[in-house]
Structure 1
């Protein structure tokens, strides 16, 4: 039986999963990512965290660590702050390109077996300057999610794949199923900061929306488009002081304020070609996913379909597809 361990490390979290014949057997998560390396200047914490997660995972599943167990890692773990720095591939990039440029590295402090590392993807900009920096973008981890989504989707290419989160990615998938480019926003992180660590925190009770309120969401987006993010965000406090808006309505209003910036960014991007009739496919947690679907549908600029789907463990789905292409599994 083939045992595959996928390691997905981001800025603040690590998820390690065991798969057997495409079925998830066990999962271990740790609240540690490459941020620890950035803060301390040492990779010791990251090494220890991933090693202990792997040990716990295999012990839970009663799997012996030997050459029959394959390890594949993706995300920020492949950056200079991670376990091994793997060069980005320049767009346009296919799944076969990513598979062909994986690197197999032994890191004894973490695991007695070699780990395959999946390279990230960057936009292709010949000469980067301060004037054209908006054309540049990078990803580590989202590329496996993109290829995972491609294995599950029936959407006609080309299309725009949207992966909302702390850092939301808009990824252009071209006619050939290649990653043509991307742009990134800090939408999720901005919402978190404004909700939990700003003058708005008391009004919002330090919590995000409980359920979608389309009217409040839309009003926030409209006010942001007219007045800008700073002014529109502050009006959350005014809604608390002078209206009967509930906490959930205010949270939706703020969600609309911040996500409107993402809508504006994708409309004006020069990082890749975008057509008004492009299909959008939004995958992610319901709060951000459904809100983005509403705002994109409401914008007269876009005339294509705005679809949402749910793919559990999307990164691992992509990793397994890439691993099969490389004949690792």
Structure 2
């Protein structure tokens, strides 16, 4: 899985090294690659699962469910992401998760604004993983490749640039076909290297 995807990415896109690949799925996985294309290791969070649990199993989920015809797939508001980030940094993630409920019951906000707040707060919490890079021997001056849904990648890209001081290039892979192709191309590349084909 991980090795094939990394091999596919390096073979297909030849990103500038070192690079950190961030896979945004049911988990968020930061995979560090050094200047010689070697996987140094990874850091994983359960952010995707936390989001699903919040939506399905908490009263917060009621405040971020779609209640009109607005298509929020392209909705992005930096002020909401900034606010979510500030709340997580000042009050912690768990306290921040109450905000969408307050915004729903006490203020005039839309469901998609509250949903973006939750997504921004979860991404902000994920950024804390970068603080472990140095202890694990991962390069701090690195480029990034974000792999996942378009808006989720946009949120992480924004936070990386605006809140983390990251100056490296950021490549986003958001189309399912391109993501699926990584595993296929990586598997072929690894099989060739092993002399199997």
Pairwise TM-score range, normalised by the shorter structure: 0.7 to 0.9
Q: CA RMSD in A?
A: 2.0
Task: Say if 1:209 and 1:252, in contact at 8 Å, map to a contact too.
Answer: no
Q: Could you tell me how far 1:295 is from its partner in structure 2? A: 0.9
Contact map agreement 2:4 2:183 (CA 8 A) in 1: yes
- CA distance in structure 2 between the partners assigned to 1:234 and 1:209 by the alignment: 21
1:328 aligns with 2:196: yes
Q: Which has the higher helix share?
A: 2
Greater relative contact order, per chain length (Cα 8 Å cut-off, separation 6+): 2
Number of aligned residues: 188
Larger radius of gyration: 1
User: 1:25-81 CA distances to partner (integer Å, 9 max, x unpaired)?
Assistant: xxxxxxxxxxxxxxxxxxxxxxxxxxxxxxxxxxxxxxxxxxxxxxxxxxxxxxxxx
User: Is 1:223 paired with 2:87?
Assistant: yes
Provide the C-alpha distance between the structure 2 equivalents of 1:253 and 1:182, rounded to a whole number of angstroms. 27
2:75 corresponds to 1:212: yes
Q: Which residue of 2 aligns with 1:317?
A: 185
- Name the structure where strand makes up a greater proportion of residues: 1
Q: Deviations over 1:263-291 (max 9, x none)?
A: 1111333223232x321111222132121
Correspondence for 1:160: 20
Per the TM alignment, residue 168 of structure 1 is displaced from its structure 2 partner at its CA by: 1.1
Deviation at 1:175, TM superposition (A): 0.9
- TM-score, with normalisation over the residues of structure 2? 0.87
Offset of residue 319 of structure 1? 1.3
Tell me if structure 2 keeps the 8 A contact 1:144–1:315: yes
CA contact (8 A) 1:173 1:180 kept: yes
Distance 1:189 1:209 in 2: 20
